[in-house]
Amino acid sequence: MARRGKKKGRPVSGWLVFDKPVGMGSTEAVSKVKWLFNAEKAGHAGTLDPLASGMLPIALGEATKTVPYVMDGAKVYRFTVAWGEERSTDDLEGPVTKSSEKRPSEEEIRAIMPKYTGVIMQTPPQFSAIKIAGERAYDLAREGETVDIPAREIEIGRLDMVENSTDRTVFEIECGKGTYVRSLARDMGRDLGCYGHIAELRRVEVEPFTAEDFVTLGELEAAAPAPIAKGEDGDSEAPVLVDMKARYAGLDALLVDTGAALECLPQVALTDDAASRIRLGNPVIIRGRDAPVEADEACATVRGKLVAIGAIEAGMFKPKRVFAA
């Protein structure tokens, strides 16, 4: 039997709420953060297009187990719609496919905005990651195919107008999982009879994180440790004793605790003994006057540190996913 290779990187865990700059892809951002932190494992909660900026929550280590909870959280975007042109990608990247001399008045725009709030049906863009017969829609679109993408139900909590001029309007939207802001610009432009596309897009919140949690690329690079010095003979392979915790302290201080992603779940505080039992996969009886009796999902902690996600049945916590101490 082949031996498993040793994991590369540090077992660091937590959320990095990255302020992704325009021009950087989401996968590129995750790779950059993983490299800077020298992390064993990394992933992100919700892709941002290269032309978009803003909040890209990146999970390191044990936090990758909580990605689905952040993916399901509400998101807030601020975006600018340029009126008069529709583009193949519904943003600045693609060529113009339709154009109009008409420009909508503020009254006309405000009149259609209620149509785009609440639970609505939305057709994703041709250039999207939606799978059609096993292939990504953007791959088919790049080959020149026009595919029939079925409309999907989405929920938009609010849509506000922030600024308005003759050619452009700035909006802010709070929406649920699966919403395409590019489709919103496209559809509003069609409804107004003038066409439209996204000129700027920035994600400002991903529940439970806020703008106060933002960390920029510059802040990351400033906190990154200097390269390890070579041995006296100049051999980079020469052994060097390094305090890894101290070496990465500046970067690690920028992380949000893994458990922050689970604030949406009922919280169960455990004793040290109960936490030890949970980590071995055993259920424990929940004690305390305010302890929940039933819950499909709950979060168990000890002294504020995440221990497990599980179900509560008849006053007993049963672990489903355990986190390293």
The answer as to whether 258 is a domain residue is no
Residues 104 and 171 in one domain: yes
At which of 193, 223, 253 does a domain end?
Answer: 223
Residues 35 and 108 in one domain: no
Q: Report the distance separating Cα 248 and Cα 316, nearest Å.
A: 39
Q: Helical H runs in the chain?
A: 26-37, 67-71, 106-112, 137-142, 181-191, 217-223, 244-247, 249-252, 272-279
Structure letter (DSSP) for residue 21: P
The answer as to whether 216 is a domain residue is yes
**Residues 161-213 pLDDT 10s:** 999 999 999 999 999 988 999 999 999 999 999 999 999 999 999 999 999 99
The answer as to whether 253 is a domain residue is no
- Give the pLDDT score at 317: 94
Residues 83 and 29 in one domain: no
**Residues 26-69 pLDDT 10s:** 999 999 999 999 999 999 998 898 899 999 999 999 999 999 99
pLDDT-based confidence at residue 138 (cuts at 50, 70, 90):
low
Q: What is the CATH number of the domain that holds 26?
A: 3.30.2350.10
Check whether 237 has a pLDDT greater than 60.
no
- Give the pLDDT score at 162: 98
Domain limits for position 148:
75-204
The answer as to whether 109 is a domain residue is yes
Check whether 239 has a pLDDT greater than 70.
no
- Give the pLDDT score at 1: 45
Tally of domains in the chain: 3
Residues 105 and 125 in one domain: yes
Residues 191 and 218 in one domain: no
Residues 108 and 134 in one domain: yes
Q: Report the distance separating Cα 106 and Cα 104, nearest Å.
A: 7
The answer as to whether 254 is a domain residue is no
Q: What is the CATH number of the domain that holds 289?
A: 2.30.130.10
Query: Which residues are marked as active site?
Result: 49
Check whether 261 has a pLDDT greater than 70.
yes
Residues 66 and 212 in one domain: yes
Residues 147 and 192 in one domain: yes
Residues 182 and 269 in one domain: no
Check whether 238 has a pLDDT greater than 60.
no
- Give the pLDDT score at 294: 86
pLDDT-based confidence at residue 6 (cuts at 50, 70, 90):
low
**141 or 41, which is more confident:** 41
The answer as to whether 281 is a domain residue is yes
Strand partners, 132: 135
Residues 80 and 200 in one domain: yes
Cα–Cα nearest to 210, from 260, 141, 149? 260
Residues 122 and 197 in one domain: yes
Residues 168 and 150 in one domain: yes
The answer as to whether 243 is a domain residue is no
What is the phi-psi region of residue 305: left when phi exceeds 0, alpha when psi lies from -120 to 50, beta otherwise? Answer: beta
Q: Report the distance separating Cα 125 and Cα 214, nearest Å.
A: 28
Averaged pLDDT, 275-298: 87
- Give the pLDDT score at 230: 58
The answer as to whether 246 is a domain residue is no
